[in-house]
Structure 1
Amino acid sequence: MYKLLTIAIISACIPRISSAQNHDLRLELHGAEQRMLEKNIPLLLQKYQVDAAKAEVITAKLYDNPTISYENVIYNSTNHRWFDLSYGGQNALEIQQVINLAGQRNKAIQLAKQGVKLDEYQFYDLLRSLKYELQDDFYNIYYLQQSLQLFQEQVNSLQTFLQALQKEQKNGNVSAKEVMRMQALYYDLLSERNDIQQELQVQRGNVNLLLRIPADSDFIAEAPRKNIMNIQPSGYSYIQLLDTANNNRADLNLAKANEKYQELNVRLQQSLAVPQLTVGFSYDKQGNFMRNYTGLSLGMPIPIFNRNQGNIKLAKTALKSSELATQSVTDQLQQDVMNSYRQAIRAKQLLDEVDVHFPDQFNQLVRNVQEQFRLRNISILEFVDMYDAYRSSILKLHQLQYQFAQSLAKINYTTGTDIISLD
């Protein structure tokens, strides 16, 4: 029995190399973010919205086209000519141009330019949200990969150990009860490994959509270039983070830009209360009081009933609403920054209480437990309990590390910039 179990322990510790699928995509966080900028469809669609808004500026800069009308006699009964263009015929020409008053054109241009800023800030706010989602998913996948690797090593180790026990059972050296208990532990490991694989698949599916990775490919999160576990959130102050957020949060800039947009719209609607002026030139060959008549015409609607009152009131209401919306975003921003700051500090404090080098000792601990069981220094129940305790400790460590990485990503999200480098 001792020989078989010793061989089982040694063989379980030999690393097993599995070749990754050729179509797996391995990326560090920086590479994933760069791919998202190039491939993500919602971001590309929002870029088109910015281009469309810029086209509105071109439209606003255009002047109204002049209107020209020409009239000619169809049948001249005096000389019996059709469409008579001779000296005795009759024709008339009129040209009109609409002129906007009260700075209407310039105000429309300013409003259109502000509309471009709105779409640009919407793009940056979308980018902020997608970037946080990617950073969160990236580190979730990374630590799930670590947990899956741990379970795979345990499954391989326990499978070899179980096979050796089954051989010893046939020789009468191990009881059936011990083998059954070891099988139960093995099946538990398989079940937990499957749960991690399922969760990992869901997270990879999310990243595949963000980065437009083919569905038959798996995203592999490469180890970060820097150890973010050494970052100290307490090295930043709340005031520092708040100032950064006030200067960089796209949703706050969007709210302020919308407030400015509504203010410009009020000015435009007020200017539209002034009627447009129509200037015209007319020529009449012989249909007026004199032959070859030329005249200048001026026309303007009389603003008695419609002075654009409804649109002016609507614009003022929208302005007041936008002011409240800006204040609401400001209040939310302050709360977001404080929450993310406190969460990061708590996550770091909890992580500092854990021995982060514990995973490096895991394989040696497993070998020691197996050796103690082989020597009958511990029972099968003690073996299972110790095995579960070791595995559970590492899984919790991975979870704590992910939660800390998530809290750092949340600080970047709430401040609107990569104030903390995560790659």
Structure 2
Amino acid sequence: MPTPRKIVMLCLLLAASVSAQAEQGPSLPEALAAAFANNPELAAAGREIGIAEGERRQAGLIPNPELSWEVEDTRRDTSTTTVTLSQPLELGGKRGARIAVAGSGQAIAQLELERQRNALRADVVQAFHAALRAQTAVELAQQSQALTERGLRVAQGRVSAGQSSPVEATRAQVQLAQAQAEVRRAQTQQTVAYQALARLTGSPLATFNQLPATELSPGAAPDTDSLLDKVEQTADWRLAAAQIERGEASLGSEKAQRIPNLTVSVGSQYSREDRERVNVVGLSMPLPLFDRNQGNVLAAARRADQARDLRNAVELRLRSETRSAVSQWRTAMQEVDAYDRAILPSAQQAVDTATRGFEMGKFAFLDVLDAQRTLIEARGLYLDALATATNARAQVERLYGDLDGLNTQSSSRSTHE
């Protein structure tokens, strides 16, 4: 049987484990899932589907009949009472035209939701990688602080031994103060980045203080021509095409309005004076002599033309933004590769060499400071290049959706064919 001390230790270990799990942030798939489930803007866009469904249902309803009651001659013994039931009959395919317009509205609502999902996904990917870079920037700033602390210790040792001027120790102290300030700035930026990620996932407060380690690089840029071949698969292009369909459906609906409706009425008339009841049947139809809905037809035709022009503008924008984003992505990744392969290792080696040389009295402390500044600047530029590449990928995925999923779908279609 476990002793009370063991029970207390187990409880403490369990509490520490739970606390560690609470501090651990979400992975990218988890952040995306939380955003899709909890983001209020996406939820609001999803409501449009229900709104469009209600409009589609209303468009399919036929007009209600009308019941009328009429009395002629209000004197009791000579009055005539007429009761009539009238039913409007829509001619010219008006109901079908309304359904077509409402149906195009449903398609537009679905595509708008897809576009919002793509935009949210891109925002989450950007925010997640921005938080990762901020987390990495804190680690690099702390490493830089450790370098300056080491330089300060070496400078103080050489000053104590009478081998260096006290000015070098002062320089080292200034460098350390700057490194400590950079750590504080990096930590503040990390907090802001964590909060931005939490907001996108539907949380008012970031409950984590560390994201799981993952690859900072967004990967190699895709082929531009392969993406341009998929322009017509994008949500933006299909949304613009759906707007054309709605414009044409609206034009058909306005043309149908040129044909007047027929109202059929049946009823009964009772005369107290003659003590006689007769049946009443009637037909009525407006005469389209002046108003043939010609103005609305013209406006709908121009809106349909406008939708076609807008689709062409959307396609032009998509192609231009695709080329720009892929070019930025590719250029940034070339910079990232250069920093990974040569620049960062060389800068780190220069710091190590200058520090060892200063310890041995071969270099001045200014050489150490210069090497440290070069390394810090190179690390900052490396993170900037990663940010450019990641943002360019996010821009591409804002247009095309998940690139990995898009490539999988294309491969599946090719295999099936």
Is this a same-fold pair by TM over 0.5? Answer: yes
Where structure 1 has 5 or more consecutive residues not aligned to the other structure, the ranges are 1-19, 79-87
SS of equivalent to 1:297 = strand
Query: Is 1:43 aligned to residue 37 of structure 2?
Result: no
1:119 to 109, 116, 123: 109
Q: Which residue of 2 is the match for residue 179 of structure 1?
A: 169
Q: Which residue of 2 is the match for residue 81 of structure 1?
A: none
2:336 to 351, 359, 362: 351
Query: Is 1:135 aligned to residue 136 of structure 2?
Result: no
Query: Is 1:261 aligned to residue 246 of structure 2?
Result: yes
CA distance 1:60–1:421, shift in 2 (3 Å): closer
Cα distance in structure 2, aligned partners of 1:108 and 1:380: 81
SS of equivalent to 2:288 = coil
Q: Larger deviation: 142-151 or 171-180?
A: 171-180
Amino acid at match of 1:237: D
Query: Is 1:203 aligned to residue 188 of structure 2?
Result: no
Amino acid at match of 1:232: A
Identical residues among aligned pairs (%): 19
Q: Which residue of 2 is the match for residue 12 of structure 1?
A: none
Amino acid at match of 1:49: E
Aligned pair count reads 390
Query: Is 1:232 aligned to residue 188 of structure 2?
Result: no
Asked if the contact 1:245/1:416 (under 8 Å) is kept, the reply is: no
Structure 1 residue 71: Cα displacement: 4.8
Q: Give the 5 Å matches for 1:24-103.
A: 24=23, 26-71=25-70, 77-78=76-77, 91-103=81-93
2:229 to 239, 243, 260: 243
Q: Which residue of 1 is the match for residue 139 of structure 2?
A: 149
Q: TM-score, normalised by structure 1?
A: 0.81
Q: Larger deviation: 272-281 or 67-76?
A: 67-76
Structure 1 residue 299: Cα displacement: 0.8
Q: Residues 166-200 of structure 1: CA distance to partner in whole angstroms, max 9, x if unpaired? A: 58756766542121100111122123333333433
CA distance 1:219–1:242, shift in 2 (3 Å): farther
Cα distance in structure 2, aligned partners of 1:389 and 1:288: 113
Asked if the contact 1:337/1:415 (under 8 Å) is kept, the reply is: no
Cα distance in structure 2, aligned partners of 1:395 and 1:38: 35
SS of equivalent to 2:25 = strand
Q: Residues 300-352 of structure 1: CA distance to partner in whole angstroms, max 9, x if unpaired? A: 11111111122111111111111110111111111122222222222233333
Where structure 2 has 5 or more consecutive residues not aligned to the other structure, the ranges are 1-18, 408-417
Structure 1 residue 26: Cα displacement: 0.8
Q: TM-score, normalised by structure 2?
A: 0.82
Q: Residues 195-252 of structure 1: CA distance to partner in whole angstroms, max 9, x if unpaired? A: 333433443333232112233535744333x6756x433xx433311122221x1111
Q: Which residue of 2 is the match for residue 394 of structure 1?
A: 379
Cα distance in structure 1, aligned partners of 2:69 and 2:376: 92
Asked if the contact 2:90/2:261 (under 8 Å) is kept, the reply is: yes
Q: Please tell me the root mean square deviation across aligned C-alpha atoms, in Å.
A: 3.3
SS of equivalent to 1:97 = strand
Structure 1 residue 360: Cα displacement: 8.0
Q: Which residue of 1 is the match for residue 296 of structure 2?
A: 311
Cα distance in structure 1, aligned partners of 2:308 and 2:329: 32
Query: Is 1:270 aligned to residue 292 of structure 2?
Result: no
Structure 1 residue 60: Cα displacement: 0.6
